Amino acid sequence: MAVAHGVHVSEAIESQHAAKNTKLHALYAYYFIGLKQNQIALLYRKAPSTIGRWIDRYERTGAVSSKAAESQRKYTPEHREWIRDYFLANPLSFLDEAKLAFEINWKNDISLSTIWRILREYDFTRKARLEQQWLIVRRAIQIKEADIVRFFEELNAIDWTHSSLCFLDEFGLDNRDMLRRKGYALKGQELLFRGEFVRRPRSSLLCFIGCDGLEGTFLTEGTFDRQKFVECVREHALSGRVQKHPGRQSVWIMDGARIHCHHTIDEYLRDFGIIPIFLPAYCPMFNPIEIVFGLVKKSLRRWYAEGNIKPKDLPVVILSELKKFRRYDMRRLFKKCGFGANGKFNPGVAYKDITNRMTEPVQIIRKFLGMKTSPKRLSNSSMSAHCVAHLPHLAPNAVAKRLDLAMDKVLKLLQVIVHRVQNR
């Protein structure tokens, strides 16, 4: 008798559950070849009662596996049609919102995976809203090695821990940033949704984050100027949450915006016992507050009621969402951006993360151009006709080659910079 890894093959077959494909072959043998149950049981080394259960389940439910049969019994065609109609009426809904609506309506629980499986059965796919499909953001990235070395040396020349770090930055919001960008629609159809097209007044926020969460928030209409920035900085420095170095929130890290960079501001902060350090230009991967801003916008997209919020209530909505981050452990974000718990800055940690994220825009644009392979293996016949309409001055392969060259240069430059900084 054959033996594999010390176990008889017959024992391995008899002790394991049959795969779905095996059950289908057994049903084929029963219905089309005409074999009896005991003959099929002998052929597949199963008990005749097991073969009988397979046949009985298939005749009762039309399903082969027990899980599929249970799902078919639990959720009727009426349930499935309700889920389909719900997403036809609310294409921008999240799966958990559909789950809650289903449980309220039918007084029956349902899992997110089941909702997604039902949507797939009806050929629903998740896609971007129509006005977002042809949006291409072009951004020039210029990273100077000397700037990163300067930041590395300044940070590692002082004593700090996670509790002594404070990151601050401004970001602007209006209703367009809160609109949901993706929804569900039938395969082959564009996602059309009637929503807001009126731009609300833009609000700007100056936020301070520490290792335990959001420490301070200041909101203004329009944008911050240097005078407003200094007033907010003074208020936060005197709030009682900031201590002299090397105390709590005594090392302030910010970008090199014009309103930040002035020798009087630097001297003013040092009078409070605060050490200001400026991030390298075009290096958001070293700033954890950028990740927090992304989480805030993601949260706002979930809870913002499109078309039902008055302009005067918009700041209230924003501040209510920011309250959720007041008690939020930021230590993992600090480590992700290279700020170790041992008080040392390692730019290589953030480099690995940015390398993975920087390849995503290239894949998105390639998809936009209808490109499934590398530009070197592309032929003119594989180009998308959309490129002619939206990028008439460049052929798709030329666009892709430029993107690849630019991305290679940036990634190689980051590798060189990180290697040199770590070896200093």
Tell me the pLDDT tens digit for each residue of 206-260.
999 999 999 999 988 888 899 999 999 999 999 988 999 889 999 999 998 889 9
Span 293-315, average pLDDT: 74
pLDDT for 379 = 35
**Average pLDDT over the chain, rounded to an integer:** 76
User: Which region among 10-14, 112-116, 419-423 has the lowest average model confidence (pLDDT)?
Assistant: 10-14
- pLDDT for residue 14: 59
Q: Which residue has the higher pLDDT, 310 or 400?
A: 310
Q: Cβ of 156: how many Cβ atoms within 10 Å? A: 15
pTM over 0.95, yes/no: no
Residues 124-128 have a mean pLDDT of 78
Q: Which two tokens stand for residue 150?
A: 């300067």
Q: What is the DSSP string of 47-85?
A: -HHHHHHHHHHHHHHS-SSHHHHHHHHHS-HHHHHHHHH
Residue 409 is predicted with a pLDDT of 58
pLDDT-based confidence at residue 269 (cuts at 50, 70, 90): very high
Label residue 8 by pLDDT band (50, 70, 90): low
Higher pLDDT, 255 or 303: 255
- Measured CA to CA, the distance from residue 414 to residue 50 in angstroms comes to 61
251: closest CA among 277, 288, 284, 212?
Answer: 277
Distance from the Cα of residue 299 to its chain's centroid: 12
Per-residue pLDDT band at 173 (split at 50, 70, 90): confident
DSSP summary character for residue 253: E
pLDDT attached to residue 412: 62
Kindly tell me if the per-residue pLDDT of 354 is higher than 70.
no
Where is average pLDDT lowest: 100-104, 327-331, 335-339, 364-368?
364-368
Residue 32 DSSP class: I
Q: Which long-range contacts (CB under 8 A, 24 or more apart) does 27-34 make?
A: 27/54, 27/55, 27/58, 27/64, 30/55
pLDDT at 380: 35
Q: Average pLDDT for residues 9-25, to the nearest whole number?
A: 72
Comparing 19 with 345, the larger pLDDT belongs to 345
In this structure, are residues 345 and 156 in contact, taking their beta carbons and an 8 Å threshold? yes
Residues of the chain with pLDDT > 90, as a percent, come to 22
